[in-house]
Structure 1
Amino acid sequence: MKSVAVTNRAPLVQRLLDGAETMGVAVSEAQAGQMLDYLELFHKWNKTYNLSAIRDIEAQLDRHLLDSLSVAPYIEADYLIDVGTGGGLPGIPLAILFPQKRFTLLDSNGKKARFLFQVKTQLKLDNVQVENRRVEAFQPDEPFDAVISRAFASLKDMTDGCQHLLADGGVFYAMKGIYPTDELSDLEKNYKVSDSYPLQVPREEGERHLLVLTP
């Protein structure tokens, strides 16, 4: 399945570059073009694969691309796994932004994994590995510096289910909406919030936070 061409990409590229600059994220024009290639694939495959409930491509750019990039200033790890990545969020935008970092994208949904393989191949993302399996069944050859997720139901589920993926000294990057006070109270006592960052995404309302958890 080939990328569906957007008639005029220039406004979308500018929307992406302006939004990234507002968030303090440096995106080159080449990276912006690659991210638009991904967005076009996402937009086309979404019609049959239900990658997102959002159908408008401008809204997808804001809600998915920019939202994923909003955490970029706080990502210090070099070897990350994006658990429950779905259509590749936030893993694909971050992998394009950070070609020197390695990303594994994990999802148990076969259709979404096929989409991710297409993205990896078409965009030549050599720093991306796709794994189509359940998190509890995945035993990596090398543990990860960080587990990141944008879609886990709770912090307890994330930490309980993914602890075996982390290297010693590794961290969890949890992308959340409102500050999850109730979820934090359910965490095992050996986890602590080492950092918490409020996030602002252009044209998007509602609270967003990135929590950094350490065992």
Structure 2
Amino acid sequence: MNPLRHLQPELESGLAALDLPRTLAPRLLDYLALLDRWNQAYNLTAIRDPREMLVKHLLDSLAMHAHVHDERLADLGTGPGLPGIPLAIAKPGLQVALVESNGKKARFLREAVRQLGLGNARVLESRAEAVAEPGAFDLITARALDRLAGILAVGGHLLAPHGRLLAMKGPRVDEEVAELPPGWALSAVHTLIVPGLDAERHLVVIARESAA
């Protein structure tokens, strides 16, 4: 039995608030329990409390789901799989590449993909700039990797001509948008509501100027 099963009602409530099916809760809790167990030995995330992980990792990652479709996504600097693994669980038609250069985190990712049976996710143990799959992805995301310009510097080559960067950010993005390199432009900013999180979150969408 999952040791975090007591969190299922809260997770189901959060999923409902995000307009996601409650039936996703058991697999998401399986991932959370695996992360919690590995975190005690390998320090994969600074958040130690499973309930806090539920809000700040699972629900925060899933808040962007409405803007992700059955596409090819590269999650850069994914760490323990955020937001890539929750999105792969919620969106079976989404093909997710989990890009992570840290060896212990990459080992955890491979184990999580295996244990969860995620046929739509694969692990690339590599720095983002070294991934030799130019133009292979419709989307890239990076939850806590860098500012917008920095993400594009290491991962922009992975995007197809129509591709988009989806970046989770706080309340102010003006300065980062002003730093965008030539050829890239702001496409949209979506306000996100994360159940249980008392903080402003926005999804910033960046595309090539020709596609924005």
Pair in the same fold by TM > 0.5? yes
Give a deviation string over 1:70-126, Cα, whole Å, max 9, x none: 000111351100000000000000000001110000011000000000000011100
Q: 19, 22, 26: which is aligned to 2:14? A: 19
Aligned to 1:209: 202
Equivalent pair of 2:57/2:82 in contact (CA under 8 Å): yes
The aligned runs of 1:4-83 (5 Å cut-off) are: 5-6=2-3, 9=5, 11-24=6-19, 26-29=20-23, 31-76=24-69, 78-83=71-76
The aligned runs of 1:100-115 (5 Å cut-off) are: 100-115=93-108
SS of the aligned residue for 2:48 comes to coil
Equivalent pair of 1:77/1:146 in contact (CA under 8 Å): no
- Equivalent residue pairs, number: 208
**4+ runs deviating over 3 angstroms:** none
User: So what's the TM-score if we normalise by structure 1?
Assistant: 0.92
Equivalent pair of 1:80/1:103 in contact (CA under 8 Å): yes
Give the counterpart letter for 2:9 in structure 1.
Answer: Q
Equivalent pair of 2:74/2:96 in contact (CA under 8 Å): yes
The answer to whether residue 145 in structure 2 is matched with residue 162 in structure 1 is no
Q: Which runs of 5+ in 2 are unaligned?
A: none
Moved more, 200-209 or 89-98: 200-209
Equivalent pair of 1:77/1:145 in contact (CA under 8 Å): no
SS of the aligned residue for 1:171 comes to strand
Q: Displacement of 1:178 after TM fit?
A: 2.2
Moved more, 11-20 or 64-73: 11-20
SS of the aligned residue for 1:76 comes to coil
Give the counterpart letter for 2:21 in structure 1.
Answer: V
Moved more, 104-113 or 204-213: 204-213
Q: Displacement of 1:28 after TM fit?
A: 4.0
Give the counterpart letter for 1:19 in structure 2.
Answer: G
- What is the RMSD of the two structures over their aligned residues, measured on CA atoms? 1.5
Instruction: Work out the percentage of aligned pairs sharing the same amino acid.
Output: 40
Equivalent pair of 2:70/2:93 in contact (CA under 8 Å): no
User: So what's the TM-score if we normalise by structure 2?
Assistant: 0.93
- Whole-angstrom distance in 1 between the partners of 2:164 and 2:110: 26
Equivalent pair of 2:134/2:159 in contact (CA under 8 Å): no
Q: Which runs of 5+ in 1 are unaligned?
A: none
Q: Displacement of 1:189 after TM fit?
A: 3.6
Q: Displacement of 1:184 after TM fit?
A: 1.0
- Whole-angstrom distance in 1 between the partners of 2:139 and 2:173: 20
- Whole-angstrom distance in 2 between the partners of 1:135 and 1:158: 9
Q: Displacement of 1:141 after TM fit?
A: 7.3
Q: Displacement of 1:190 after TM fit?
A: 2.1
SS of the aligned residue for 1:130 comes to strand
- Whole-angstrom distance in 2 between the partners of 1:59 and 1:34: 18
